[in-house]
């Protein structure tokens, strides 16, 4: 199949769509990605890129076409909205031009946020006469209100109308969490066209033995290490993490390691200073994805936090699959679907979102467990990952749905299993 992927984010930005594109190419499909200029999460264009290019690249067997956008800067307010809208506009106008003469059998849309990525996909659907498969990783407009990014009822109402328009124009909608299904159907996706398609973890995420000479060991504190890896943002519940660390500040054998960056990093740094947590809370910055299994192997627990909000209770954070794949015990400081998976897998401990006391208690409880008991938790998590989130199994499923959609398009019908 000739597959066009529309995604505001792509390599060198670190999103699972990178692996999906590569996986489809490995299976013999002709894959082209329409994307923007990389600037996530730091807010500035990556070295070697500018607002207008380069326009064409290749990543392995994947062709990459880039349209201009305004960098996200501090990821706040008007600047972030302009980042979203600039990609939607430039890709809607320039996408059909840049892709002129290139036929596609199917358009696959990657939507971790924003929903506006669906606008150029619809423009290309009309230009290419190809069906749209839309992968929902983040529910709009709910996520806007949950993070506090938008509070205006009129703006949220306008976004909801846009969401309805996009869903109605999609031929199949995939959702990363089963909890998303009712809301997506309520906003216009036909029930027979909605399917659960969870995220997985790249093949590099696997259990590894920590090496004595591993570079991750340099300057690493001794003791019980609780590791968080990912975006330091509004959705991740960092006030709860900081408050839990403060409750345990007298336990200098317990260390909180934060791998990543994001718009709340400055706030976290200031709180660490003000609360006297510099000896137990360590912000280690961003590191390549390839190094994550090594970091995780040195963790005694992997931390999975989210804010308390009905929308986040439906969400399965992408890092959960990576954590499970690496066979380390998980502390889930969240509600709903993510906590259910951790508990069902027997892969760790779950506590309510935004409950600092419960999070501190979970850390202490895991700290007091014998090492073999923690190891068994990790192994149960790995087994659950292999049964539910294994990459090749999920790509098989996706490939089958794509083939059905393309065949239905050729037959002029819409038969959806």
Predicted pLDDT at 417: 38
Q: Assess if residue 403 is contained within a domain.
A: yes
Predicted pLDDT at 357: 98
User: For residue 162, what are the CA distances in angstroms to 107, 110, 167?
Assistant: 19, 17, 9
CATH number at residue 303: 3.40.50.2000
Residues 190 and 225 in one domain: no
Among 144, 92, 90, 146, residue whose Cα is nearest residue 119? 92
Residues 143 and 227 in one domain: no
- C-alpha of 84 from chain center: 17
Residues 173 and 322 in one domain: no
Residues 195 and 222 in one domain: no
Q: Assess if residue 296 is contained within a domain.
A: yes
Q: Assess if residue 289 is contained within a domain.
A: yes
Q: Assess if residue 205 is contained within a domain.
A: no
How far is Cα 114 from Cα 8, in angstroms, rounded to an integer?
Answer: 8
Among 333, 310, 314, 313, residue whose Cα is nearest residue 323? 333
Q: Assess if residue 207 is contained within a domain.
A: no
Q: Assess if residue 57 is contained within a domain.
A: yes
* Structure token digits, residue 308: 């308390």
Q: Assess if residue 209 is contained within a domain.
A: no
Residues 164 and 257 in one domain: no
DSSP annotation of 217 reads G
Residue 75, SS3? coil
Residues 133 and 265 in one domain: no
Q: Assess if residue 366 is contained within a domain.
A: yes
DSSP annotation of 1 reads -
How far is Cα 413 from Cα 95, in angstroms, rounded to an integer?
Answer: 27
∠ CA 202-296-111 to the nearest 5 degrees?
40
| Long-range contacts from 401-405, C-beta under 8 angstroms, 24+ separation | 401/133, 401/172, 401/174, 401/195, 401/197, 402/1, 402/3, 402/106, 402/108, 402/133, 403/1, 405/106, 405/131, 405/133, 405/171, 405/172
Is 41 in contact with 27 (CB distance < 8 Å)? Answer: no
- C-alpha of 306 from chain center: 13
Residues 313 and 235 in one domain: yes
Residues 372 and 241 in one domain: yes
User: For residue 340, what are the CA distances in angstroms to 205, 311, 335, 346, 347?
Assistant: 22, 15, 8, 10, 11
Residues 274 and 306 in one domain: yes
Q: How many domains is the chain partitioned into structurally?
A: 2
Residues 16 and 162 in one domain: yes
Which structural domain, as residue segments, surrounds residue 277?
215-388
Residue 107 burial (CB count, 10 A) = 23
Predicted pLDDT at 352: 97
Predicted pLDDT at 414: 45
Residues 381 and 395 in one domain: no
Residues 363 and 262 in one domain: yes
In the chain, which residues have pLDDT < 50?
A: 413-417
């Amino acid at each position: 199949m000739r597959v066009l992927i529309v995604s505001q984010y792509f390599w060198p930005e670190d999103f699972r769509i990178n692996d999906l594109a590569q996986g489809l190419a490995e299976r013999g499909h002709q894959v082209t990605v329409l994307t923007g200029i990389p600037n996530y999460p730091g807010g500035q264009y990556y070295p070697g890129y500018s607002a207008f290019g380069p326009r064409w690249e290749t990543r392995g067997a994947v062709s990459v076409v880039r349209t201009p956008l305004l960098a996200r800067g501090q990821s706040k307010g008007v600047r972030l909205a302009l980042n979203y809208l600039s990609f939607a506009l430039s890709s809607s106008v320039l996408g059909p031009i840049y892709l002129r003469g290139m036929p596609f059998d199917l358009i696959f849309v990657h939507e971790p946020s924003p929903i506006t990525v669906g606008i150029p996909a619809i423009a290309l659907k009309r230009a290419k006469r190809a069906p749209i498969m839309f992968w929902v990783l983040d529910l709009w407009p709910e996520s806007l209100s949950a993070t506090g990014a938008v509070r205006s009822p009129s703006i949220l109402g306008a976004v909801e109308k846009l969401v309805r328009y996009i869903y109605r124009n999609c031929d199949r909608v995939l959702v990363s969490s089963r909890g998303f299904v009712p809301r997506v159907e309520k906003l216009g996706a036909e029930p027979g066209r909605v399917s659960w398609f969870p995220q997985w973890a790249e093949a590099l995420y696997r259990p590894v033995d920590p090496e004595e000479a591993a570079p991750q060991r340099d300057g690493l504190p001794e003791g019980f290490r609780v590791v968080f890896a990912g975006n330091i943002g509004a959705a991740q519940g960092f006030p709860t993490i900081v408050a839990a660390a403060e409750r345990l500040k007298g336990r200098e054998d317990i260390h909180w390691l934060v791998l990543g960056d994001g718009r709340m990093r400055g706030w976290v740094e200031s709180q660490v200073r003000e609360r006297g947590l510099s000896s137990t809370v360590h912000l280690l910055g961003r590191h390549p994805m390839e190094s994550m299994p090594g970091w995780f192997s040195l963790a005694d627990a992997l931390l999975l936090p989210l804010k308390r909000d009905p929308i986040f209770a439906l969400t399965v954070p992408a890092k959960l699959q990576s954590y499970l794949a690496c066979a380390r015990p998980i502390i889930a400081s969240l509600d709903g679907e993510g906590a259910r998976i951790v508990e069902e897998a027997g892969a760790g401990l779950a506590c309510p979102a935004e409950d600092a006391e419960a999070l501190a208690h979970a850390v202490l409880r895991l700290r007091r467990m014998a090492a073999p008991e923690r190891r068994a938790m990790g192994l149960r998590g790995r087994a659950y990952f292999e049964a539910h989130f294994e990459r090749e199994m999920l790509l098989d499923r996706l490939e089958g749905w794509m083939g059905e959609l393309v065949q239905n398009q050729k037959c002029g019908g819409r038969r959806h299993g």
